[in-house]
Amino acid sequence: MKNNDDTTHLIDETLIPKGQPFLSPVGYFEGLPTIIQRRIEGKDCEIRNTGFNEPEKYFATLPDRIILKVTTEEKEQNPVKQIGFINWTWVASVAATVVLTWGIINDQQNTLIKSNLTKQQWHIDNLSSTEIASILNKSDISEEELIKNISITRLNQQIEISSKEENEIINQLEETDITSEL
C-alpha cells in the first residue's frame, strides 16, 4: 500500500495550510524513489504489490513456448509457404509439364479412336444386309428381343393355322349341308 504512486486520494485537504497550494501529498517523497525505480525497471516490481506470483521458471520457458507455437501454427496453416518460393516454382513447373503431357497423349488417343470409328463406319456402309447379318451373332441381339420376336412369329403362324383350319371346317360343313339337302 505504501508503494502507491498516485497518492492524490490520500491527501487530507484539512491538513493543507492555506496559501500553500503546491504542498506535496502526504508520504509523497517517501514513496518517490520506489516510483522512479518501478518506472525504470518496469518488470517484476508489481509482483510484490499485488501479492500474485508465477510458477517457478515460468518466464524462463515462456519465450521458447511461444516461438514453438507460432512456428508450428504457421507451418500448419500455410504448407505452401513451407516449401519456399524457389521450390514451389519447381513443383509448379513439374505439375504443369505433367498436365501438358497428359493433354497431348489424350488428344492423340482421341484422334486415333475417331479415325478407327470412321473406318468402321465406312466398312459397314459397304456391306450388304446378308453380310451384316452374317457378322452379327446371337449376343448382338438381346435375349429379350429375340424371345419377343420368336413369340410374335409363333403367334402369327398359329393364327394362320387356325384360319386355315376354320376355312376347312366351313368348307366341310358347306359340303355336308349340300349333300344332305340333296
Partner 1 sequence: MKEEIDDKQLLQQFAIESRREQVFHQIVLKYQRRIYWHIRKIVIDHDDTDDLTQETFIKAWKALKDFREDAQLFTWLYRIATNEALSFLRKKKSKNTISINEAHEELILALQSTSFFNGDALQMKLQKAILTLPEKQRIVFNMKYFDAMKYEEMSEILETSVGALKASYHHAVKKIEVFFEKQN
Q: What is the DSSP letter of 6?
A: -
User: What is the four-CA torsion angle of 133, 138, 143, 147, rounded to 10 degrees?
Assistant: 60
Residue 168 binds partner 1 (CB under 8 A): no
Q: What is the DSSP letter of 26?
A: T
In the set 27, 32, 71, 162, which binds partner 1 (CB under 8 A)?
A: 71
Q: What is the largest CA-CA distance in the chain?
A: 172
CB of 39 to partner 1, least distance (A): 6
CB of 48 to partner 1, least distance (A): 8
Q: Give the rounded distance of the alpha carbon of 21 from its chain centre.
A: 75
In whole angstroms, give the CA distance from residue 35 to residue 29.
10
H/E run at residue 76: helix 58-77
Residue 88 binds partner 1 (CB under 8 A): no
Comparing CB distances to partner 1, the nearer of 32 and 147 is: 32
In the set 26, 32, 66, 105, which binds partner 1 (CB under 8 A)?
A: 66
In the set 23, 47, 91, 98, which binds partner 1 (CB under 8 A)?
A: 47
Residue 67 binds partner 1 (CB under 8 A): yes
Comparing CB distances to partner 1, the nearer of 74 and 174 is: 74
Contacts of 135 (CB under 8 A, 6+ apart): 127
Task: Give the footprint of partner 1 on this chain (CB under 8 A).
Answer: 1, 4-6, 9, 35, 38-39, 42-44, 46-47, 49-55, 58-59, 62-67, 69-71, 73
